[in-house]
């Protein structure tokens, strides 16, 4: 990829999660006239780590005002128009979310000055319940105001195309949080090294991660497949989970929050990575260490990442379903190793920060060449 060839770019986010900072710094290196990010604070109950700041990209702190909950949630971002006037982006990349009340005004402001606007989102799943048709029509009108769209998966691309958006202006950018691995594929033996498998969870300990389901599933496995379960992370559910493990599955080790070499050692010593709930930032890192993965169906970002060749997407949110998948995974060590090698290939060749940056660069070039 040629470097520093893109125009002046602005990126609007509701919040700036710490895990996204390396990506924005990498994209900034491609922008000849710089890149600036606008974002505000999350709601307290979201438990989003938003303390990191970019090193090469600019950052402008706005103020978020959150209204209502659920399907009626909206957000007013104070400072957005001031940031646009100060930064004067040639291309604005915005979250493709009509719930942000200042977005349409910002889009119009950029376009009046000859700039281009790109939407970035998960996709557009069909709404259900009250006012579903009205919500879909509003979403269609909003999405079709963009000059191009970026989305995390082919599923998201298909959903945007179903709204009538031109397919040649939709750019899948698989959700990546780390560069392609520099280390080789770790070598693992054809049997479990300690005589029993090691299963790993990494993430914040909160209800939506469903670590309780993982503990229960381990206790239901056949005796010869019951693993050493290692739980890496901290969070509000730690005490509750420790008590559950003590009663239900004592072969659970709570390792605390680990980083760097300590966390890498856990990945290297593991046979299977399991994330039964939502989220999943550690999935890509687990795959980079040659691990097959079992993940819950969350927001669609993992559809292209977790496939039959390298893991399992849970079809149902139940302990029974998780137990079945873990039994299948741990019952065939040879197949497990092959799936781990497939994980490594996927993150080396397809899903990494470099390919994500390339997708954004292609979308920016597309709209600026018009």
Q: Domain of 157: which CATH number?
A: 3.40.50.2000
User: Does some domain include residue 2?
Assistant: no
Q: Is the pLDDT of residue 1 over 60?
A: no
User: Does some domain include residue 305?
Assistant: yes
Residue 36: Cβ within 10 Å count:
23
Structural domains of the chain, count? 2
Are residues 27 and 131 located together in one domain of the fold?
yes
Are residues 163 and 35 located together in one domain of the fold?
yes
User: Does some domain include residue 193?
Assistant: no
Q: Is the pLDDT of residue 2 over 50?
A: no
User: Does some domain include residue 186?
Assistant: no
- Return the structure tokens found at 358: 């390339």
Are residues 239 and 165 located together in one domain of the fold?
no
CA nearest to 150, candidates 100, 109, 94: 94
Q: Is the pLDDT of residue 214 over 50?
A: yes
Cβ contact 50:40 at 8 Å = no
In the structure, what pLDDT confidence band is assigned to residue 127 with cuts at 50, 70 and 90? confident
Are residues 146 and 222 located together in one domain of the fold?
no
Give 319-354 pLDDT, tens digit per residue. 999 999 999 999 999 999 999 999 999 999 999 999
Are residues 146 and 259 located together in one domain of the fold?
no
Give 222-259 pLDDT, tens digit per residue. 999 999 999 999 999 999 999 999 999 999 999 999 98
Are residues 245 and 116 located together in one domain of the fold?
no
Higher pLDDT pick, 59 / 51 = 59
Are residues 220 and 290 located together in one domain of the fold?
yes
Higher pLDDT pick, 360 / 300 = 360
Are residues 52 and 64 located together in one domain of the fold?
yes
Are residues 25 and 167 located together in one domain of the fold?
yes
Are residues 344 and 357 located together in one domain of the fold?
no
Structural domain including 232 reads: 198-349
Residue 92 to residue 121: CA distance in whole angstroms: 14
Are residues 127 and 19 located together in one domain of the fold?
yes
Residue 41: Cβ within 10 Å count:
16
Q: Are strands 198-202 and 228-232 parallel, antiparallel or unpaired?
A: parallel
User: Does some domain include residue 159?
Assistant: yes
Overall average pLDDT of the 96-104 stretch:
93
Q: What is the pLDDT of residue 3?
A: 46
Give 135-148 pLDDT, tens digit per residue. 888 889 999 999 99
Residue 305 to residue 351: CA distance in whole angstroms: 7
User: Does some domain include residue 191?
Assistant: no
Query: Helices (H) and strands (E) in the chain — how many of each?
Result: 12, 15
Q: What is the pLDDT of residue 283?
A: 93
User: Does some domain include residue 3?
Assistant: no
Overall average pLDDT of the 93-101 stretch:
95
In the structure, what pLDDT confidence band is assigned to residue 299 with cuts at 50, 70 and 90? low
Are residues 256 and 132 located together in one domain of the fold?
no
Q: What is the pLDDT of residue 301?
A: 61
């Amino acid at each position: 990829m040629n470097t520093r060839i893109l125009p002046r770019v602005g990126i609007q986010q509701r919040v700036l999660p710490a895990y996204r900072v390396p990506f924005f710094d990498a994209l900034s290196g491609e922008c000849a006239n710089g890149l600036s990010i606008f974002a505000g604070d999350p709601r307290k109950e979201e438990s989003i780590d938003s303390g990191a700041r970019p090193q090469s990209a600019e950052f402008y702190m706005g103020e978020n005002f959150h209204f209502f909950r659920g399907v009626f949630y909206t957000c007013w971002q104070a400072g957005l128009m001031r940031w646009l006037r100060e930064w004067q982006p040639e291309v604005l990349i915005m979250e493709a979310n009509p719930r942000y009340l200042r977005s349409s005004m910002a889009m119009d402001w950029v376009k009046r000055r000859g700039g281009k606007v790109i939407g970035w989102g998960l996709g557009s799943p069909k709404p259900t319940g009250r006012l579903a048709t009205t919500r879909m029509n509003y979403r269609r009108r909003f999405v079709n105001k963009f000059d191009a769209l970026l989305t995390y998966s082919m599923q998201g691309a298909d959903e945007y195309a179903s709204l009538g958006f031109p397919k040649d202006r939709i750019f899948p950018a698989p959700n990546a949080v780390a560069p392609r691995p520099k280390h080789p594929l770790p070598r693992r033996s054809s049997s479990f090294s300690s005589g029993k498998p090691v299963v790993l969870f990494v993430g914040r300990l909160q209800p939506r991660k469903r670590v309780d389901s993982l503990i229960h599933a381990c206790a239901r496995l056949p005796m010869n497949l019951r693993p050493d379960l290692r739980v890496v992370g901290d969070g509000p559910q730690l005490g509750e989970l420790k008590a559950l493990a003590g009663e239900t599955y004592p072969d659970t080790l709570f390792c605390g929050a680990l980083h760097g070499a300590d966390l890498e050692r856990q990945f290297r010593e593991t046979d299977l990575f399991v994330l039964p709930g939502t989220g999943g930032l550690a999935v890509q890192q687990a795959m980079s260490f040659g691990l097959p993965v079992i993940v819950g169906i969350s927001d669609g970002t993992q559809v292209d990442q977790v496939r039959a060749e390298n893991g399992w997407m849970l079809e149902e949110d139940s302990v029974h379903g998780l137990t079945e998948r873990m039994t299948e995974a741990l019952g065939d060590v040879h197949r497990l190793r092959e799936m781990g090698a497939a994980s490594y290939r996927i993150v080396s060749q397809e899903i990494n920060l470099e390919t994500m940056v390339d997708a954004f660069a292609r979308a920016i070039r597309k709209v600026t060449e018009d």
